[in-house]
Amino acid sequence: MSTDLDTTAADGFRRTPGGAIVMDGNRLRDEIVAQLRVTIEAAGSPAVCLATVLVGDDRPSQLYVASKQKKASEAGMTSRHVGLPGDASQAQVEDAVAALAADATVHGILCQLPLPGGLDPEPVLGLIPFEKDVDGLTERSMGRLVRGLPGHVGCTPLGVMRLMERYGVATAGKRAVVIGRSTLVGLPQVLLLGRKGIDATVTLAHSRTPDMIEVCRDADIIVAAAGSARMVTAAHVKPGAAILDVGVSRSERGIVGDVDFDAVQAIAGAITPMPGGTGPMTIACLMENTLAAARMLGAFPA
């Protein structure tokens, strides 16, 4: 798959060969991280700490955690890492998270999932106070999102919203389709798009949706988060629609998304590349949430 992009257009946005605006997650991530550093330094550089917990030696997870620590440093934050062996017990993992939850110098806690087989993530996540749940994964964070109370929103769906804001994708009165119903992305994405002030009319589609092409063809915005490689084709896309690709699949040719980029970029008005689109924004929003957590805990000026 080719994702070659044209040079910057007159409006300042990069565009695909088909003319779609490229919603560049790498660029926006770096903008957000740089602004967070400015904000922290302007406040006198108080310690803002993100703690990560990794169980086992899964190489992709190690790389992902390392990238989070790197961006935290670039944002002017500190990192703390707890690494546990793959044969750690449920009690050992829970004790590690409980210690971070009780530590006033730690503001955000991220437990890298999935945990090794035999470990139950729910009791582990349940130990994280909502103020420190910078991944927005616990039932308390999800419940606060539903209720419209202060709390942390999942980093990936929040990153989708940040991309649309940055690249001028209109939402009020628009029709949006979210493909995928996971608690990590799909369900919170529906809530974010439909909340007051965003005001999209949202349809949740999934593997049991019988008329997927017809549903998608009516949409001004499609968020593809089903984890099904290249399932969104040109036939699914209304001319000029904004297409945000969250799905990740591994193929012989590398990582591919839920969107057939080459075909869709010729029709869409705006599109995220894969990689380099929504993925970097997950880390950017993790940094945003960590600073917000420090504010919630009174460790950073409001």
Do the beta carbons of residue 258 and residue 225 sit within 8 Å?
yes
Please, are residues 181 and 187 in contact by the beta-carbon 8 Å criterion?
yes
- Is residue 112 flagged as an active site residue? yes
Q: 3.40.50.720, 3.90.1150.60, 3.30.470.20, 3.90.1170.50: which CATH number matches 155-280?
A: 3.40.50.720
Same fold yes or no, 44-132 and 155-280: yes
What's the pLDDT score for residue 3?
42
Distance CA 281, CA 186 (A): 16
- What are the residues whose beta carbons fall under 8 Å from the beta carbon of 64, sequence distance 6 or more? 112
What pLDDT shows up at residue 1? 34
Q: How far, in Å, CA of 114 to CA of 40, rounded?
A: 32
Closest CA relative to residue 98, chosen from 78, 116, 123: 123
Domain coordinates in residue numbering, the chain: 44-132, 155-280
24-70 per-position pLDDT tens digit = 999 999 999 999 999 999 999 999 999 999 999 988 899 999 999 99
Distance spanning both ends of the chain, measured CA to CA: 46
Q: Which residue is listed with tokens 């490229």?
A: 22
Q: Please confirm, yes or no, whether 24 is among the known catalytic residues.
A: no
Residues of the chain whose pLDDT is less than 50? Answer: 1-4
CA proximity to 69, closest of 55, 82, 52, 57: 52
Catalytic residue among 133, 135, 220, 258: 135
Q: Which of 153, 202, 150 is nearest to 181 (CA)?
A: 202
Q: Look up residue 133 and give its two tokens.
A: 């749940």
Instruction: Using DSSP, state whether 16 is helix, strand or coil.
Output: coil
Task: Give the whole-angstrom CA distance, residue 259 versus residue 180.
Answer: 13
The closest of 284, 269, 274, 240 to 13, measured between CA atoms, is 269
193, 176 contact by CB (below 8 A): yes
Find residue 255's DSSP bridge partners: 250
Active-site hit among 24, 71, 112, 174: 112
What is 44-132's CATH number, 1.10.3720.10, 3.40.50.10420, 3.40.190.10, 3.40.50.10860?
3.40.50.10860
Contact by Cβ (8 Å): 18, 48: no
- What are 201's strand-pairing partners? 175
CA Rg, the chain, in Å? 19
DSSP 132: G
Within a 10 A sphere around the Cβ of 35, how many other Cβ atoms?
Answer: 13
pLDDT of residue 5: 52
